[in-house]
Amino acid sequence: MTRVLLIGAAFVLTAVLVVVPLVYIFVQALSAGWGAYVANILDPGTLHAIWLTTLVAVIVVPVTVAFGIAAAWLLSKFTFPGRGLLITLIELPFSISPIIAGICYLLLYGRQGYLGGWLAQNDITILFALPGIVMVTMFVTTPFVVREVLPLMQAQGSDQEQAAVTLGAGGWQVFRRVTLPNIRWALLYGAVLTTARAVGEFGGVAVVSGSIRGKTNTLPLQVELLFNDLNVVGAFAAATVLTLIALVVLVAKTVLERRAGRH
Amino acid sequence: MSPASAPAVRARAVLPGFRLTLGTTVLYLSIIVLIPIIALVLTGAGIGPGRLWAIITAPRTLASLRITITAAAIATVINAVYGLLMAWVLVRYRFPGRRLLDALMDIPFALPTAVAGLSLTALYSANGWFGAVLEPLGLQIVYTLGGIVLAMSFTSIPFVVRAVQPVLEELDPALEQAAASLGSRGFTTFRRVVFPAIMPAWLGGVTTSFARSLGEFGAVVFIAGNLPFKTEIASLLAYIRLEEYDYEGAAAIALVLMVLALVLLFVSNMVQLRAARYGAVTA
């Protein structure tokens, strides 16, 4: 009896809290028909936002993956003073609100910021342009790959790598032939999570991008812009693109978890 | 910070790559994380304690902090109960649709917060599916504290579930069977045997959920209506100060939020450390 009651409650609550809001995105986006939906997606502002968001993800994900591998190798293979501090710094962005990250960037790179004068003199633009958006997205996604890869590398130990070195393999060879096959699913999983976060980041990007129409508007910012313009159907149409990405990420996550479980 | 030659590395440790990975990690963390945070702390220090105090205790700032903390606390209570229920149902029962239900728990993390905010706002506004039912009953969600609570609890749903699930899975059923054989029944067993074992993980999840809610921005700005003294959250006020070019005001509020987040991170780590110790004793 308790069992039926609890399972029932779980289904009803999850339907109200999660499923209906998810379904409602598509209902609203298609409320004016498929023709209007396609027209909304093909709106130049929305198309540009899709392109910019893709560009940000294409830059951020490989860099975060490379950083994640380097950090996980460092933290799992060596002990050294300051190791705990590095772990804290890696975890920090997870607890700091992205909007605070954005404010930090503004105080550093903004016109009145600590590096603002120097950047202006050297004609380097970071804020209200692509570099700022990319950097603040990197801040937010810093822990994502390390979190997945580090526990695995620690659990597996260094015996295999040490054996390979003893047999004369070089560092790069050891990584590619010994370590990478062991961590590839976790690495891919981390990359998938990073992609989801990079594509959806709102608060941090809102501060550093300046939301310039047709220039520095990422897709989540475009959703807000359309909503504020009272173009609700257009906002929902743009939102469906992000929702579909989120659903693909979830499917990829489930598949990768199953694969990782088998190994 | 340049990659070292192979012999030099091998002299340090058996495995190569120490200097290269240390250099990469330190460089990345400095540029992306550390120096920007130092900029915030320096700005805060530059404002001076008197002015900092004046900004933080200004009525509008205090109101925004009160609204943020109240809404985050209510959202966390909702997630604490819902998350515990979901973890229990997903781990202890086998039923059709369980895997789907489990996968659905990740939606709030995968879905961009702006999209969640947009959908919730439309859903609960007067002509939305839920709003059309609730508003005639006198329950207004959009542009009220209720809306902020809703947005915060949506975006932090997975924290409690995902914290409790693994611990509940590891829990030895023999404990509960022993309790049952000694005459303990359903809820008593849960309260006296199961709950104490999962409490540290649950509290850890609750703390992270609260921390996340305090900093939530994207979902809340859509649904809150953002009226000063009524539905204006602290991170939004910081954002407004930036738009007014009041960098000191923004920095002061950001500092308060960051210190709050760090204190919660510390508390969460302490809880988990105690849990690890507790686990070591019983095992």
Burial class (CB in 10 A: 0-12, 13-18, 19+), B35: middle
Distance CA B120, CA B220 (A): 10
Residue B183 sits in the same domain as residue B193? yes
pLDDT in tens, chain B (283 residues): 444 444 444 434 578 999 999 999 999 999 999 999 999 999 999 999 999 999 999 999 999 999 999 999 999 999 999 999 999 999 999 999 999 999 999 999 999 999 999 999 999 999 999 999 999 999 999 999 999 999 999 999 999 999 999 999 988 888 888 888 888 777 888 888 889 889 989 999 999 999 999 999 999 999 998 999 999 999 999 999 998 999 999 999 999 999 999 999 888 888 877 766 655 434 3
Give me the number of domains chain A comprises: 1
Say if residue B64 is in the same domain as residue B25.
no
Q: Is residue A18 part of a domain?
A: no
In order of A181, A187, A193, B261, the CA distances from A64 in angstroms are 19, 11, 11, 24
pLDDT for B276: 67
Identity of the amino acid at A240: T
**Per-residue b or e along A209-228, where b marks 16 or more CB atoms closer than 10 Å to that residue's CB:** bbbeeeebbbbbbbbbbbbe
* Closest Cβ opposite residue A71 in set B25, B43, B186: B25
What is the distance between the alpha carbons of residues B108 and B104, in angstroms, rounded to a whole number?
8
Other residues' Cβ atoms within 10 Å of the Cβ of residue B142: 24
Asked if residue B75 and residue B38 are part of one domain, the reply reads no
Q: Give percent helix, percent strand, percent coil of chain B, each to the nearest 5.
A: 80, 0, 20
A46 pLDDT higher than 60: yes
Read off the tokens for A167.
């047999």
pLDDT at position B222, please? 95
Q: Letter for the amino acid at A74?
A: L
pLDDT band at A111 (very low <50, low <70, confident <90, very high): confident
- Judged by a CB distance cut-off of 8 A, whether residue B86 touches chain A is yes
Asked if the structure places residue A170 within a domain, the reply is yes
Total tally of structural domains belonging to chain B: 2
Q: What is the CATH number of the domain that holds A67?
A: 1.10.3720.10
- The answer to whether residue A52 scores a pLDDT higher than 80 is yes
Residues B18, B110: one domain?
no
Half-sphere exposure of A222 (CA within 13 A, CB side): 31
Mean pLDDT is lowest, of A195-204, A207-216, B36-45, B143-152, for A207-216
Give the position of tokens 């809001």. Answer: A21
Q: Which of A107, A136, A148, A180 to mutate against chain B (most B CBs within 10 Å)?
A: A107
SS (H, E, C) B150-190: HHHHHHCHHHHHHHHHHHHHHCCHHHHHHHHHCCCCHHHHH
- CA proximity to B157, closest of B119, B202, B108, B110: B108
For residue A166, pLDDT beyond 70: yes
Indicate if B59 and B41 belong to the same structural domain. no
Tell me the two tokens of residue A198: 């990079």
Residue A7 counted as domain residue: no
pLDDT for A262? 52
Whether B119 and B223 share a structural domain: yes
From chain B, the residues in CB contact with A73 under 8 A are 17, 21
DSSP assignment letter at B111: S
Domain that holds residue B136: 48-282
Helix (H) or strand (E) holding A100: helix A98-109
Question: What's B15's DSSP letter?
Answer: S
3-state secondary structure (DSSP) of residue A231: coil
Chain B from 38 to 67: CB within 8 A of any A CB = 39-40, 42-43
Q: Residue A169 gets which letter from DSSP?
A: -
Beta carbons of A207 and B239 less than 8 Å apart: yes
Q: Are residues B105 and B125 in the same domain?
A: yes
Among A3-12, A164-173, B187-196, B266-275, the range scoring the smallest mean pLDDT is B266-275
Decide: B134 and B141 in contact? Cβ < 8 Å: yes
A78-A80-A84 Cα angle (round to 5): 100
Give the domain CATH number at B158.
Answer: 1.10.3720.10
Q: Same domain for B33 and B167?
A: no
Q: Do B216 and B255 have their domain in common? A: yes
Same structural domain for residues B33 and B151?
A: no
Residue A28 inside a domain? The answer is no
Residue A214 lies in a domain: yes
Tell me, yes or no, if B25 comes closer than 8 A to chain A by beta carbon. yes
Test A25 with B118 for CB contact under 8 angstroms: yes
CA closest to A71 among chain B residues:
B25
Whether A8 maps to a domain, the answer reads: no
Q: Examine the domain organization and report whether B63 and B202 are in the same domain.
A: yes
Residues B163 and B217 in one domain: yes
- Are the CB atoms for A162 and A112 separated by under 8 Å? no
Residue A189 lies in domain: 33-262
Query: What's the pLDDT at B5?
Result: 44
Q: Which of A43-52, A58-67, B165-174 has the lowest mean pLDDT?
A: B165-174
Q: Rounded to an integer, what distance in angstroms lies between the CA atom of residue A259 and that of residue B201? A: 26
